[in-house]
Amino acid sequence: MIAIIDYGMGNLHSVSKAVERLGYEAVITADPAVIAAADKAILPGVGAFGDAMQNLRETKLDEVAKAYAATGKPMLGICLGMQLLFSESEEYGTNEGLNLLPGKVVRFAGDYKIPHMGWNKLSFLQGESPLFSGLTEGHVYFVHSFHVKPELSSDLLATTDYYQQVTAIVGRGNVYGMQFHPEKSGELGMQLLGNFLKI
């Protein structure tokens, strides 16, 4: 069973339907016991980093997520959910994240269109990652105004190019993150989500 963590911010149902289309049972839940019992957990998210962390803290789901990551079972953050895995964000002031991965979320800065929105090609940096098993590089769908700067290059699994190298996929041990929406990214997105669910 795949637990999709419901903290009041996220495209929960589209992620749930994508998981089910891949042949897995998904449950949208805020129940710590259900999350703890799950085979895998997904932390989705749409919106502002600070609001998301406030919701997680108020519901104690921040501690639930950290405890889940500590079990060694696979965990995936999607879009804002990926950003929440990191130490802090500068969105609307400095906000502390879950700190499962070291790094900072910063705003795009430059004379180009923000948010970064559209289809961009992935570059796999660590081809041996189980996420990339059997896959070739292709395009996925991004919508974001902030991007992650990981402290450790070893946590960076894939990037895309948007006037600079942009973090697209991260991972360390059992904790993974995708900045794009795999459930809205066509065949490659579904294959990446499927590979996560196979881990």
Query: Is 79 noted as a catalytic residue in this protein?
Result: yes
Q: Say which of 137, 144, 183, 187 is annotated catalytic.
A: 183
Whether 181 sits among the annotated catalytic residues: the reply is yes
- Give the 3-state secondary structure of the chain: CEEEECCCCCCHHHHHHHHHHCCCCEEEECCHHHHHHCCEEEECCCCCHHHHHHHHHHCCHHHHHHHHHHCCCCEEEECHHHHHCEEEECCCCCEECCCCEEEEEEECCCCCCCCEEEEEECEECCCCCHHHCCCCCCEEEEEECEEEEECCHHHEEEEEECCCEEEEEEEECCEEEECCCHHHCHHHHHHHHHHHHHC
Catalytic choice (139, 151, 181, 187): 181
Catalytic residue (one of 25, 58, 79, 144)? 79
Catalytic center residues: 79, 181, 183
